[in-house]
Amino acid sequence: MDAVMQVQGLRFGHPGQPPLFDGWSAEFPAGLTLVQGDRGKTTLLRLLAGELRGEGRLLLAGRRIDTDPGAWRRAVCWIDPRDAAWDAMRPDELMAAQQALHPGFDASAWQRHLAGFDLAPHLAKTMAQLSTGSRRKVALAAALSAGCALTLLDEPTAGLDRPAIAWLVQALGEAAREPGRVWLLASAWGLEDALPWAGTLTL
């Protein structure tokens, strides 16, 4: 399958630690890729999101992170539900921030995923007031609606109940058929045998 995203010669290490990536390269086709391994998964997602900066070349459907980081950020969805920056926001405010950032955001999909994740009782709460599972559901609803060329999901099933996992499986199964879009899922516990993976990456 043709690659939608390429990583060429990636180099990165946290200060005072051995490098996690030292000239590492990979290609990713459209669809779902499972990222697994003992170390470096979240760091890789943060590098691909532009939250961390390493050396090397990142290309996504004609975009380069080094030459146009703004266009890259608009094309990449990365919502870490653990990030304290979301604490004071209600779900609809988080959604509005993502809608402003990503031109392809689908507001009707957002409403559909709110219902699918049973989030209606929590819409008046701030993210800080939500349980770990509900907070993750809000982030997933926004990510599934963002319409990005690259969507990064870190431990997407952590804290989810069975109905929420079932909804996520359905939503990702549909997303896997969308041309030109890459989805990277790190440590997708419970989803390994439930989704049509385009590839598996072991770090």
pTM: 0.96
User: Residue 26: is its pLDDT beyond 80?
Assistant: yes
Q: Where are the domains of the chain?
A: 30-51+70-202
User: Residue 41: is its pLDDT beyond 70?
Assistant: yes
Q: Is 187 left (phi over 0), alpha (psi -120 to 50) or beta?
A: left
User: What is the residue type of 99?
Assistant: Q
Enter the CATH code of domain 30-51+70-202: 3.40.50.300
pLDDT tens column, 126-144: 999 999 999 999 999 999 9
User: Residue 176: is its pLDDT beyond 90?
Assistant: yes
Output the pLDDT for position 188: 87
Nearest of 70, 78, 71 to residue 150 by alpha carbon: 78
pLDDT tens column, 63-74: 999 999 999 999
Across 9-22, average pLDDT: 94
**C-alpha to C-alpha distance for 113 and 180, rounded to whole angstroms:** 22
User: Residue 1: is its pLDDT beyond 80?
Assistant: no
Output the pLDDT for position 2: 87
